[in-house]
Amino acid sequence: MHDESAGFSSENCHFPLNALQDIATAKPTKLMPMDEQDPENAYKVLILPSGLEFIAQPTLSLLVSAQQAQIRMPSSCRNGTCRTCLCVLKSGQIRYQIDWPGLTREEKTEGYLLPCVAVAESDLVLDVPDAISLK
């Protein structure tokens, strides 16, 4: 097959046979419920003023962890630029999944964070006035 109009030629596209077999025979990974996940790798997050709580996995953003616990926090872009999810870290430690989250140096110093691109590194207390439970 040769399609010059799209600038693509299947003659130039090669995959090792074993890679294709690996894809074809791959088994989906079983997702574990939150209460069965390794508690040593998870952190408790308390949201003020609502008192809502959820478990944050160190591989997921705080926003995604909250959503998995059926807690809705304000969000829009999910990439750290729009600032819709801006909230305050009252206690605990986080790290960012991106190099330049949309915060000024002063905002970081004052404890503001963007949960759409932040990951828990300890138990946390967040001030998120618009967070609600979807349960």
Q: Compare 58 and 28 and report the one with higher pLDDT.
A: 58
Strand, coil or helix: 80: coil
Cβ-contact 76, 84 below 8 angstroms: yes
Whether 114 has a pLDDT exceeding 70, the answer reads: yes
Q: Compare 127 and 26 and report the one with higher pLDDT.
A: 127
What DSSP string describes 21-77? HHHHHPPPPPPPPGGGS-GGG-EEEEEETTTEEEEE-TTS-HHHHHHHTTEE---SS
What mean pLDDT is predicted for residues 45-65? 96
Residue 17 is classified by DSSP as: H
Residue type, 110: E
Architecture of domain 34-133: Roll (3.10)
Q: Which helix (H) or strand (E) holds 109?
A: helix 105-109
pTM comes to 0.70
Residue type, 67: Q
Range in 2-11, 43-52, 122-131 with the lowest mean pLDDT: 2-11
Cβ-contact 45, 53 below 8 angstroms: yes
Whether 17 has a pLDDT exceeding 70, the answer reads: no
